[in-house]
Structure 1
């Protein structure tokens, strides 16, 4: 079988020879390096490769080429080899073009020329490209089929679960001929919708998240009964704890109730995260972190709802919704937060039918040429506005406060100001959602008490943060808002919390139960940023080691 191909495209012969030479030096034993002098020549080469049945692992294309620039070329190359990873070669002056390429053709990386020394500036990028290609492969993607109603909360929940867990699926809207044929083949009826059919032919009717996870191959059951570390929650803090725990030799299992990534995983573009100058989507960051944790040996359990935590001697026991348990030496609580419910008439009835919490990226194609409303003034709302502006005719941010400056990063405010179809309405609240089968209108109230009813098909809500801690009850000390207190916040007049059994004070991220640590948004007084959540996840593992060594 022939070697997979690394294709380079550059109209400058010297640069073309240079990049091909550097690639052959590092990857020549495992990949065949092919170079082309123009976009047209490269497309001809790709067509020939396709006919021969060979695989293309990665494409490196120069941005500035006559007749066909790198972005245009990559758009067409994606039609031939959609699984090939893509990088753009740019001069420093063209970094704006690189950012555009990320949005237009989902470029994985951009490389600044010159890339000397290649060991520092070229090979790490290509390593990441070929590793991502090896994971996805260049084989046909087996799709799960979903038959559902367009305006149905259960159908939306199935699609959202699959999308957030990176499970390829094809959507069939009930009523269409192909959907009806699929229902007949599955021996199902409209009363069974949503219906899910896996690539191996398994049929699920009105499935739960755990049933879907089992059917599509996600891990839902722990391999062991006892671990060194259990991480509850798969957001940035939980993933950070899982990566550091597993990499440092702890038998680690991460438990997530829905999908890894948390709220950050739904972000269309995070642009202020250290080390990603061109930005990274929440899904990309989540996927990399999950693969990194699993590479080090961490287990990741999906669709498992944690309902209890107990200290039994030196063991810390986690109870699942089905009554089963796992135990460990230590626990990191990183269950994060959820968006608060929008208290407006009609919203609850229309949730999942035009009203959504979070970015709900699966709805983006349905927003084309429509007017979309987003409630919230923090970064998550701003990132959603940027994302949906590429689909919707108009996007309106509804903000209760007097401006965005108090709650949104400056870079994001500047981006929004530069997008022509994004509008901001301050001193405004949503008071009612109207619609029968789906959202049709919203009633808005401004700061002067004036009401206005506007047409709207989609409303995305990003307001406040409610910690996911109800399941803890009185097990650990929480503040008045439900966030878990840790470390110095547990001390009252220098006294340790009631029932604290040790002769030392709680460590910085330690809860009122020794050996149970807290990281990320769920922690009282935490900084609500992705970078700080990841940092706390890593710090929690350092404190876990300290706790285990001192026992």
Structure 2
């Protein structure tokens, strides 16, 4: 098999030669470097490569090129090699173009010219691109097929599960001819939907998350029954703990109920996370963190529901919903939080049929040229408004408070104010959701004017605070009145340690009322609800796990 290809395109011959020279110097033994001096020539080269059956690992395109700029070129290149990783070469003055490229063609990186020294500015980016390409592979993707109804809550749940777990799938409506043909071939009826047809031809009727996970090849079973560290919850805190735990030699397993990433994984764009000046989608950040953890040897289990935690001597035991269990020396609880339910008439009945909790980015194409409403005034709601403004005819933020400034980051407020089709309705709540088969309109009440207005709405996305997922813990650990897990100094009452504490020391900073059970991220009482702080707490928890293990 011939070597995979790194393709560069730049209309400046000197720059084109320079980048090709630097790439050959570092990657020439493993990759063939192909360069072009225009978008058209590069597309011709890609077509020839496609015909020969060769693989393209990464494409570097200059932004400013005549006739066809780098973004337009990458859009067409994606049709030929959708799994090739993409980077944009740009001058400092064109960083806005890089952000546009991320939104339009999902560029992995942008590189500022000049990139000297390449060891610091070029090679780390290319290393990241080729590592991601190797991890994803370039073999044809075996697609899962989903047949369902556009306004079926169960169909939406299946699509959301597959999308959040990065499982390629193709959607077919039962109302379309091809969808009906697939049902006929599977021997199923329209009332059986949703039907999931796996790459090996099995047809699953209204499958649960664990059933889908097993059918599409996601890891659901632990390889052993005893670990150094079990991490419960795969959001930023859990992924941070998995990366640091596994990289430091701990036998580590991360257990996730639905999909890694948590609420952050659903974010359309995170722009204030350190090291990503052009922003990063929650899905991209999650995918990179998961691959990083697995590279260091961490196991990642998906669609496993944890139902209990207990102490058996020196072991900490985690019980699953099916009655099975795993044991560990130490536990990190990082279960995050769930969006609170919107208390308004009609909302529950229409959930999954026009009403959604979180960003639900799989719904974006169906928002095209339609009125969209978003409830909430924090960053997650603002990020969703910016994202859906690219599709919807209008986006309206419905905010209970008098202003966004007390709950949303300044940079995000400025973005929202600059987007013409986003409006903000303050001092307003949703009183009722209307619709038969799906959401059709909303009743909005303004507390300042006392007026209730009914407005057309095709989609409603809800971001109204969050509650911790800790009911399953029962009395195993101390929680506050809201269900958040108390740790460290918060457990000391008038200098006294929590009841049942067995060690001759105070609880460590992130340690719960059970020695060896640590807490990180949003589920911890008094935590800072930010992605960066969650990742930091995940890393810090592993440091404290080491201290705990050294005491044993």
TM-score by length of 2: 0.99
Q: Report the alpha carbon displacement of residue 75 of structure 1 after superposing the two structures with TM.
A: 1.3
2:493 is aligned to 492
2:404 is aligned to 404
For 1:186-225, what aligned pairs fall within 5 Å after superposition?
186-225=186-225
Deviations 1:403-426, CA, capped at 9 Å, x for gaps: 111111111111111111011000
Q: Give the Cα–Cα distance (whole angstroms) in 2 for the partners of residues 57 and 550 of structure 1.
A: 48
2:479 is aligned to 478
Q: 1:520 aligns to what SS in structure 2? A: coil
Q: Report the alpha carbon displacement of residue 487 of structure 1 after superposing the two structures with TM.
A: 0.2
Q: Report the alpha carbon displacement of residue 26 of structure 1 after superposing the two structures with TM.
A: 0.5
Q: Give the Cα–Cα distance (whole angstroms) in 2 for the partners of residues 139 and 322 of structure 1.
A: 35
1:247 is aligned to 247
2:67 is aligned to 67
Deviations 1:1-55, CA, capped at 9 Å, x for gaps: 2111111111111111110000000010111111111111111111221222211
Deviations 1:319-373, CA, capped at 9 Å, x for gaps: 1111111110000000000000000011111111110000001111110010000
1:238 is aligned to 238
Deviations 1:40-96, CA, capped at 9 Å, x for gaps: 111111122122221111111111112211111111111221111111111111111
Q: Give the Cα–Cα distance (whole angstroms) in 2 for the partners of residues 407 and 54 of structure 1.
A: 51
Matched, 1:82 2:112: no
Matched, 1:454 2:455: yes
2:541 is aligned to 540
Q: Give the Cα–Cα distance (whole angstroms) in 2 for the partners of residues 324 and 53 of structure 1.
A: 46
Matched, 1:344 2:328: no
Q: 1:57 aligns to what SS in structure 2? A: strand
Q: Give the Cα–Cα distance (whole angstroms) in 2 for the partners of residues 217 and 44 of structure 1.
A: 37
1:101 is aligned to 101
Q: Give the Cα–Cα distance (whole angstroms) in 2 for the partners of residues 203 and 73 of structure 1.
A: 39
Q: Give the Cα–Cα distance (whole angstroms) in 2 for the partners of residues 149 and 371 of structure 1.
A: 21
1:370 is aligned to 370
Q: Give the Cα–Cα distance (whole angstroms) in 2 for the partners of residues 354 and 68 of structure 1.
A: 39
For 1:106-185, what aligned pairs fall within 5 Å after superposition?
106-185=106-185
Q: 2:79 aligns to what SS in structure 1? A: helix
Q: Give the Cα–Cα distance (whole angstroms) in 2 for the partners of residues 231 and 422 of structure 1.
A: 39
Q: Report the alpha carbon displacement of residue 138 of structure 1 after superposing the two structures with TM.
A: 2.5
Q: Give the Cα–Cα distance (whole angstroms) in 2 for the partners of residues 146 and 170 of structure 1.
A: 6
Q: Give the Cα–Cα distance (whole angstroms) in 2 for the partners of residues 10 and 197 of structure 1.
A: 44
Matched, 1:531 2:528: no
Deviations 1:196-220, CA, capped at 9 Å, x for gaps: 0110111111100000000000011
Q: 2:126 aligns to what SS in structure 1? A: helix
Q: Report the alpha carbon displacement of residue 529 of structure 1 after superposing the two structures with TM.
A: 0.2
1:49 is aligned to 49
Q: Give the Cα–Cα distance (whole angstroms) in 2 for the partners of residues 197 and 207 of structure 1.
A: 11
Q: Give the Cα–Cα distance (whole angstroms) in 1 for the partners of residues 178 and 100 of structure 2.
A: 37
1:320 is aligned to 320
1:513 is aligned to 514
- Choose 417-426 or 174-183, whichever is displaced more: 174-183
2:12 is aligned to 12
Q: 1:183 aligns to what SS in structure 2? A: helix
The number of residue pairs the alignment matches comes to: 551
Deviations 1:463-510, CA, capped at 9 Å, x for gaps: 011000011111111111110000000011111111111110000000
Deviations 1:90-142, CA, capped at 9 Å, x for gaps: 11111111111111111111000111110110001011111111122222211
Deviations 1:436-489, CA, capped at 9 Å, x for gaps: 111111000001321001111100000011000011111111111110000000
Q: Give the Cα–Cα distance (whole angstroms) in 2 for the partners of residues 51 and 328 of structure 1.
A: 52
Q: Give the Cα–Cα distance (whole angstroms) in 2 for the partners of residues 451 and 547 of structure 1.
A: 57
1:275 is aligned to 275
Q: 2:183 aligns to what SS in structure 1? A: helix
Q: Report the alpha carbon displacement of residue 222 of structure 1 after superposing the two structures with TM.
A: 0.9
Q: Give the Cα–Cα distance (whole angstroms) in 2 for the partners of residues 146 and 315 of structure 1.
A: 42
Q: 1:263 aligns to what SS in structure 2? A: helix
Q: Give the Cα–Cα distance (whole angstroms) in 1 for the partners of residues 397 and 266 of structure 2.
A: 18
Give the unaligned 5+ runs of structure 2.
none
Q: Report the alpha carbon displacement of residue 191 of structure 1 after superposing the two structures with TM.
A: 2.3
Q: Give the Cα–Cα distance (whole angstroms) in 1 for the partners of residues 139 and 249 of structure 2.
A: 34
- Choose 32-41 or 162-171, whichever is displaced more: 32-41
- Choose 47-56 or 302-311, whichever is displaced more: 47-56
Q: 1:531 aligns to what SS in structure 2? A: helix
Deviations 1:138-166, CA, capped at 9 Å, x for gaps: 22211000011111111110000000000
Q: 1:497 aligns to what SS in structure 2? A: coil
Q: Report the alpha carbon displacement of residue 380 of structure 1 after superposing the two structures with TM.
A: 0.4
Q: Report the alpha carbon displacement of residue 177 of structure 1 after superposing the two structures with TM.
A: 1.2
1:436 is aligned to 436
